[in-house]
Amino acid sequence: MTTPQLDKTYDPKAVESRWYRVWIEQGYFRASIDHPGEPYCIVIPPPNVTGSLHVGHALNHSLQDILIRWRRMQGRNTLWLPGTDHAGIATQNVVEKQLITEGLSRDALGRERFVERVWQWKATSGNTIVNQQKQLGESCDWDRLRFTMDEGLSKAVLEVFVRLHDEGLIYRGERLINWCPRCLTALSDIEVEHEDVKGKLYTIEYPLENDPGTKLTIATTRPETMLGDTAVAVHPEDDRFKHLIGKRVSLPLTNRTIPIVGDAILVDREFGTGAVKITPAHDFNDYEAGERHQLPRLPIFDHQALLDPAGMAKAGVEPNIATPLEHLPVQKARLKIEQALKDRGLLMKVEDHKMAVGKCYRCKTVVEPYLSPQWFVRIQPLADPAIKAVEEGRIRIIPEGWVNNYLGWMRDIKDWCISRQIWWGHQIPAWYCLTCNDRQILSVGNRTTVLQGAKPIVSKSDPAQCPICGGRQFLRDPDVLDTWFSSALWPFSTLGWPDRTPELKTYYPTSTLVTGLDILFFWVARMIMMGLKFMGDVPFRDVYIHALVRDAEGQKMSKSKGNVIDPLHVMEQFGTDALRFTLASMASPGRDIKLAEERIEGYRNFANKIWNAARFALMYLNGPRAALPPAQRAFPDRWILSRLNHTIRAVTSELESYRFDRAATVLYQFIWHEYCDWYLELIKPVLQDSAHPDGPSARQSLAETLETTMRLLHPFMPFITEEIWQTLPHRGDSIVVQDYPVVDSAWSSPDTEQQFMLLEHTVGLVRTGRVLLNVAPGQRIPFYVGHDDQTRHRQLHQLQHHLAHLSRGTAEVKPSNDWPSGKLLRLVTEGLSVGIGVTGDVDLGKALDRLAKQIAEADKEAQRLDTKLNNAEFVAKAPPEVIAEHQERVRTLSRDRALLASSQEQLRAMLGT
RNA sequence: GGGCGGAUAGCUCAGUUGGGAGAGCGCUGCCCUUACAAGGCAGAGGUCACAGGUUCGAUCCCUGUUCCGCCUACCA
């Protein structure tokens, strides 16, 4: 038999694309409802269709692939369902920017042609991220790739919208909503990011209508909104002001007077002046206060957040004030208002003030509360079951710490604004009869607005006839749905819902959702609500929430900071397996990942180490192999089988609890520091002697353990493990579809492990001695070993030839008091003694320093233990086994110390000091 | 303002029934020893943030403080 030869260093590029192609060709990732195993399904958090893979995706996807590959190998009926979402606002923004560079605009193009352009863009760039995912080795069932705007998923959206509307859970109404004046659309509450900024607090005087000499002083951070004030509020129990309630003030800069109202909710007596202006059209609190006091709402900004002439006219703003303000943005208007108030002596003071402003999560523009008719989901009835599902443990959130976060948000949830004033997305299935809604449909330029009070016909298909007037002319609601509305249906819409498909029956509820914290509310919470509502069951059993990836300094990665780590570049440079292993090993719960390239390089080295272990194995695997029962194998084989068994148990249980970091650490330690450092070294003498009687069993153990280790590692490092596995003796076509290793009690051998620890300590001591005495690495030396404990001493005899081999010398096992008295460096630890001959002209400085240090440490430790043992309370109250252990340690220490001291004296004697 | 998490070796982080403090990277010294210099061997380095409390005994449990993150919120 000829053995395949491997190159000296591992070259990821040479193997990755090759194996991925094979895996796809063989259909290993394809799921089938006929598979006999218990289903295990993950739906991918769909990335933006026009995006590209960033390191956050790489983490998220690596973890999912580890789970899926692991479960597939365990024989489960696995489905990892991939897909992308249409990312309404973001994608529309991208295409609009393209149009600008062509001198076009979406308005110039018109809705239909614009949407066509977006589809074109999706067609050209939509595969980018999918190809990058393949590069990462993701074992998705690509035949089932879904997109939120697919026909099937769109059907699901229609179905859900219409059913929720019919049940009264979707309604249209005019409310104050978050409005992005740049994207020109409504946003939901959670699409607004709050950011602390340094602002100013303006104190302004409003004169009383019937007593202009008396003034009510208010404080505001947004003086420009005063033009739309419709009341001033004071606390009803505030003795300073309560007599003013019911009176009116003249609103400066306008011809209006507005009432003073008492409002205990809005007003905090301690803050500012104790009096607050109320602008219901431009502030959420004021909007609610306005409801309480039946105040009019006077918007003074237009949809671009510019001062609106018509609005100002309606608000009675003095013409000489209004004219210069027309079409000014908020910031500029503020300066003019400030000046006007100053001119009239009404501006008392301006102070620095810390405040939070809301920004659009897509474009970072400051959002404005804006009064407009929108569609909402009445969320409370959906939230209640979603709260219960988590409370009752039907859904587990991991790590648990996020449960309260989830519950807190769900219990305080607000109605969800789902309409967006953009064109890319699922258009709302609502139509307005042109006859019946004549007065509610308003066209200004190319903007069509359907006013509050219009009567929509909600239906899965175009209505033929108005049920009220019989009219046949309709306007379809121009708005589209929030992208997250379709994402919320993802776990069942991707499986064929609303049709009752066998896939749905097999894979729903899905098993695990892997996601970042940033979309817990955007996505996870909404999937839970929709899943419970429409499937009558939770969408997934486990939600695993992983950390955010930051740069080495802990900064959030962003293109503008230039600190992004590009996963594609990393894969190119260090290999995909290295990247995947790095991310897995750093995925500790509840902590952000600070990623530095050196870490990835370290795991590239790990891959190379594995590669070379395989090269070593292949070099010696020629020749007959014999599979003896584990107990009859040689010491190194018994030991590595026992350790491998332990590693299988640990990796499996860590994966079961989503501790990817610990699973990775366990694998790393085993492969590098047990398998390579010790096992391969231990078996070299047997392998290198082709006539050795233990050869057949050693070769069998070597092949068997390496092959098993590759299977154990495969979910983490799919490419290198496949490449190596193929060169080893194996059964089957691909590691992808082999069984995951399971614990085998016949492999477990605690006695052998004990013995190995003795070997490890002894070899360590000899090697230390060699360094202390400056013995050349290649030089073979004679040395003595002995142990105070009889059993250990006997074991040293059994280990003799291993000791000699690993210590590069000849070992004589003999009680230490039988050793020659002079010219010997003795090193001692825990009853174990090693003696190395000292030749005349060696520098003993290092050795003496070491002995002195050991003695000092022994003294210190002995003193610490003595103190404890002399404490009557310790002796009286500590468990007997703890006391016994302490006493034993004191005895060992004192023996060790005595031996070290005598060695010290002997060396000193040699030096003649 | 509220909530949550973190503070352990130079750096990044493990450490689950409280009883001798760990890994990776980096650093120092010696080695191109026929799997691997992307390597081997040996080694240095830590009042486990601070102050109290519980306990015979605390990195671990409790309280408070400081600093740093994140989430959330209507303080004009």
Rg (CA), chain A: 38
Straight-line distance from CA A677 to C1' B43, in Å? 18
Average confidence (pLDDT) over A224-241? 90
Average pLDDT score over residue span A859-878: 90
**Nucleotide at minimal C1' distance from the A765 CA:** B42
ipTM reported for the complex, 2 dp: 0.95
Is residue A559 pLDDT above 80, yes or no? no
Beta strand A832-837 with A781-787 is antiparallel
Helices A380-391 and A402-411: crossing angle, nearest 10°? 160
Statement: residue A3 has pLDDT above 60: no
Q: What Å distances lie between residue A150 and A426, A503, A702, CA to CA? A: 10, 17, 51
Strands (E), A247-313: 248-250, 257-262, 275-278
Q: pLDDT of A395-408, one tens digit each?
A: 999 888 888 888 88
Q: What is the pLDDT of residues A668-720, one digit of tens each?
A: 999 999 999 999 999 999 999 988 999 999 999 999 999 999 999 999 999 99
Mean predicted lDDT score pLDDT of chain A: 91
List chain B nucleotides near protein: any atom < 7 Å from a Cβ: 3-6, 12-16, 19-20, 23-26, 29-31, 33, 35-44, 55-57, 69-76
Residues 171-230 of chain A with CB under 7 A from strand B are: 189-190, 194, 196, 201, 218-222
Closest CA to A426 of A486, A499, A490, A497: A486
Q: What is the pLDDT of residue A840?
A: 67
**With bands split at pLDDT 50, 70 and 90, how would you rate the model's confidence at A470?**
confident
DSSP secondary structure code for residue A366 in this structure? B
Q: pLDDT value at position A694?
A: 94
Strand partners, A476: A431
pLDDT over threshold 60, residue A156: yes
For residue A589, the model assigns a pLDDT of 81
Under the banding of pLDDT at 50, 70 and 90, the label for residue A641 is: very high
Q: Which residue reads 């009432």 in tokens?
A: A259
Residues 515-534 of A with CB under 7 A from strand B: 517-518, 521
Which residue's CA shows the smallest distance to C1' of B6? A591
The four Cα atoms A494, A497, A499, A505 give a dihedral, to 10 degrees, of: 80
Check if the beta carbon of residue A221 is closer than 8 Å to that of residue A200: yes
Check residue A723 and give its pLDDT. 96
- Residue A172 three-state SS: strand
Residues 567-626 of A with CB under 7 A from strand B: 586, 588, 590-594, 598-599, 602, 604-605, 607-609, 612-613, 615-616, 619
Nucleotide whose C1' lies closest to the alpha carbon of residue A872: B56
**Mean of pLDDT values over A816-837:** 88
Instruction: Tell me if A639 sits within 8 A of A630, measured CB to CB.
Output: no
Q: CB–CB of A228/A279 below 8 Å?
A: yes
Q: Supply the pLDDT for residue A675.
A: 97
CB A372 within 8 A of CB A177: yes
Measured from Cα to the C1' atom, the residue closest to B13 is A586
For residue A197, give both structure tokens.
């900024």
**Most confident listed range (A767-781, A787-801, A854-868):** A787-801
Reduced to 3 states, what is the DSSP secondary structure of residue A638?
helix
**Looking at the whole model, is its pTM more than 0.90?**
yes
Q: Region A733-740: what's the mean pLDDT? A: 96
Q: What is the pLDDT of residue A193?
A: 87
- Rounded Cα distance between A396 and A658, Å, is 12
Shortest-distance nucleotide from A770 CA to C1': B42
Q: Is the pLDDT of residue A610 over 70?
A: yes
Q: Is the CB of A401 under 7 A from strand B?
A: yes
The H-or-E segment that residue A370 falls in is strand A368-377
What span, in angstroms and rounded, lies between the C-alpha atoms of A109 and A95?
12
Cα torsion angle, A750, A751, A757, A763, sign: negative
Cis peptide, bond prior to residue A509, ω within 30 of zero? yes
**Which of A12-16, A105-109, A737-741 shows the lowest per-residue confidence on average (mean pLDDT)?**
A105-109
* A window 645-704: Cβ near strand B (< 7 A): 659, 661-662, 665, 668-669, 672-673, 676-677, 680-681, 684
Around A282, how many Cα atoms within 13 Å sit in the side-chain half-sphere?
Answer: 25
Flag the least confident range among A166-170, A353-357, A375-379, A741-745.
Answer: A353-357
The mean pLDDT value for A23-46 works out to 96
Distance (Å, rounded) from C-alpha A183 to C-alpha A345? Answer: 39
Residues A875-910: tens digit of each pLDDT: 999 999 999 999 999 999 999 898 889 888 888 888
Does residue A178 have a pLDDT over 70?
yes
Given pLDDT bands bounded at 50, 70 and 90, which one contains residue A4?
Answer: low
A32-46, A286-300, A443-457, A778-792: lowest mean pLDDT where? A443-457
User: Residue A437 — φ and ψ, nearest 5°?
Assistant: -110, 25
Residues A312-333 pLDDT 10s: 999 989 999 889 999 999 889 9
Over range A382-395, report the average pLDDT: 92
Residues in chain A: 913
The answer to whether A273 CB sits below 7 Å from nucleic acid chain B is yes
Residues 6+ apart with CB under 8 A from A264: A235, A236, A237
Please give the pLDDT value at position A520: 83
Residue A451 in tokens = 């006013």
A window 402-421: Cβ near strand B (< 7 A):
404-405, 408-409
A392 CA to B46 C1', in Å?
A: 44
> CA A210 – C1' B22 distance (Å)?
79
- Look up residue A897 and give its two tokens: 């110390």
Return the closest-CA partner of residue A429 out of A65, A86, A170, A802.
A170
Q: At what angle do helices A597-620 and A576-586 cross, to 10 degrees?
A: 120
- Residues A298 and A286: their CA atoms lie apart, in Å, by 12
| Least reliable range by pLDDT among A553-557, A591-595, A616-620 | A553-557
d(CA A137, CA A61): 9
pLDDT band at A190 (very low <50, low <70, confident <90, very high): confident
The 10s digit of each residue's pLDDT in A249-274 is 999 999 999 999 988 888 888 887 88
- Our measurement of CA A658 to C1' B18, in angstroms, reads 26
Q: Work out if A861's Cβ lies within 7 angstroms of strand B.
A: yes
Tens digit of each residue's pLDDT (9 = 90 or more) over A212-222: 888 899 989 99
Phi and psi of A98, rounded to 5°?
A: -60, -45
Check residue A670 and give its pLDDT. Answer: 96
- pLDDT per position as a tens digit, A765-793: 999 999 988 888 888 999 999 999 999 99
Check pLDDT > 70 for residue A841: yes
Place of tokens 């709302």: A428
Query: In the complex, which nucleotide's C1' lies nearest to the CA atom of residue A267?
Result: B76
Instruction: Name the range with the highest mean pLDDT among A361-375, A552-566, A734-748.
Output: A734-748
**pLDDT per residue over A270-296, tens digit each?**
887 888 999 999 999 999 899 889 999
Average pLDDT for A1-10:
66
Tell me which DSSP letter residue A746 carries.
Answer: G
Q: Are A754 and A41 in contact (CB under 8 A)?
A: no
pLDDT tens-digit readout, A598-608: 889 999 999 99
CA angle, residues A20, A21, A22, in degrees to nearest 5: 90
For A17-41, what is the mean pLDDT? 95
